[in-house]
Amino acid sequence: MYEIKLPDFSIITDIRKDFLRNNADDLCKKYNLGKYIDEEYYPREKLKYMEIPSEFNSPEELYFLIRCLRKGSATPVKSTSWEYFTMNIPPFVQKLLSDLDRKWIWFQSDINFSQAEKNYLSQEWIIEEAISSSQIEWAQTTANQAKEIIMRNREPKNKHEIMIVNNYQAMLFITNELKDAVLSEDLLLDLQAIVTKNTLEDEWKSWRFRTDEDNIVVMNGVTWEVYHKPPTVEIMKKEIKNLIDFANDKDGTFMHPFIKATLLHFWIAYLHPFCDWNGRTARAIFYRYLNKKWYKDFTYIPISRSINNSKKQYSTTFIYSEQEEHDLTFFLVYIAQKTKQAFKEYKEFTIKQKKEHKNIQSIISSLYGKTLNERQLYLIWYFIENPEKYTNNSVYQNQFKVSKNTAKLDLQWLKELALLEVNHIGKYTNYYPTKALLNLWK
């Protein structure tokens, strides 16, 4: 069993402990220790490599004081019936929650997106989330390849592609069907069955909870070190009922939706109720709860992309939260950091995209005296970024959520402007960018 090295506070004398406790406020201000209760909520493993102020005799003394400060502001979180966790809500998390509640998110304030653009971005997010969440679980497929599979409704050829298609179907399930439904064991199992379809060696393990005979543990796939031993099946089955009540807001306590969604994410991963792919289900439930609570901003933000770029940190954060005195703040801080990062990156991306669309519209208008709709602008921009790609009527319908006739009219109109050219392959009429289109931006 992999265990992090916890500090040995027994080497600190009682006199020194009293000194540290009695002078906590002064030492905190003098050495800016408050940062270790905010966004720099580092575990002991990371703090031991940092410079120790001269008033501390050892790294253990510094961490002892930090733990005292953290415990002093922590709130018990009875997220399970057999173990208590604690949690701090650091200032930067409080600011993030405030920003969410004041609805400053990019598409509601800074950028005025049309419904057509929101539909397009929502579809893009669902695809991106399906890809990134699968890649966290080591799906070996590039983002471009995976997107092609989904957009062209191509049959997946291997397990990695199946994982991504399953995840895409799971995200559609939670945004369309699960969002307003009352969560139940059957719906949780339905979601898990979608996620695991055709990916398990024993398909009968798909639509059921794990048993003791399954011997499920969380381990490193390379070193085979065991990171986490889930609770017994007896405890897990009891806790699933508590988790469902928690997700349906029947627990009788108020908690900010973002924090509650984060706890659901952790709780499912901690219980590990299924034979495989628990992480993808945990992330799906995180999104489902936020969507249910009308945090539709998250419908456009693929947070799993940020998590996928720091998979090791994601895994170790679970370990810190479990092994460092059941302090869930480590996990909350990590998810909040990735959420903040995802919003920032996507806001910058969409502002840039809006400017480029405005530039495209200006060029087309000056040359042809025509105005493109938002869908056509996105397609032209896509071809400028990906000149080797193509589209067709069915892909266009899927991408922009429009009818067959609307897609046909949009594409034909661009063809008449000599911005697209046609190539017939079997039953499909494929549209490619013309040289004239691509030369406009050289």
pLDDT in the model for residue 328? 95
> Chain-centre distance of CA 215, in angstroms?
28
CATH class of 372-439: mainly alpha
Most confident of 120-124, 159-163, 345-349: 159-163
- Residue 358 pLDDT > 50: yes
Report the C-alpha gap between 347 and 312 in whole angstroms: 26
**Are the C-beta atoms of residues 68 and 19 closer than 8 Å to each other?**
no
Give domain 91-346's CATH superfamily: Fido-like domain (1.10.3290.10)
Do 285 and 265 form a contact (C-beta atoms < 8 A)? yes
Q: Which region among 59-63, 80-84, 275-279, 372-376 has the lowest average model confidence (pLDDT)?
A: 80-84
> In the structure encoding, which two tokens stand for residue 348, read together?
């910058």
Provide the whole-model pTM: 0.89
Total count of residues recorded for the chain? 442
Task: Round to whole Å and give the CA distance between 306 and 342.
Answer: 6
Listed residue (103, 114, 124, 111) closest to 355, CA to CA: 111
Residue 431's φ and ψ, nearest 5 degrees, are: -110, 130
Strand-pair partners of 77? 85
Residue type, 385: E
Q: What is the residue type of 411?
A: L
At 418, which amino acid appears? A
Three-class SS of residue 75? strand
Give residue-wise pLDDT tens across range 173-231.
Answer: 988 888 788 999 999 999 999 999 988 877 777 889 999 888 888 887 677 888 899 99
pLDDT at 107 over 50: no
pLDDT per position as a tens digit, 124-180: 878 888 888 888 876 677 667 777 788 777 888 888 888 889 988 988 898 888 878
d(CA 113, CA 108): 8
Residues of the chain with CATH 1.10.3290.10: 91-346
Say which residues have a Cβ less than 8 Å from residue 329's Cβ, sequence separation at least 6: 41, 70, 74, 86, 87, 88, 89, 90, 321
Outline which parts of the chain fall under CATH 1.10.10.10: 372-439
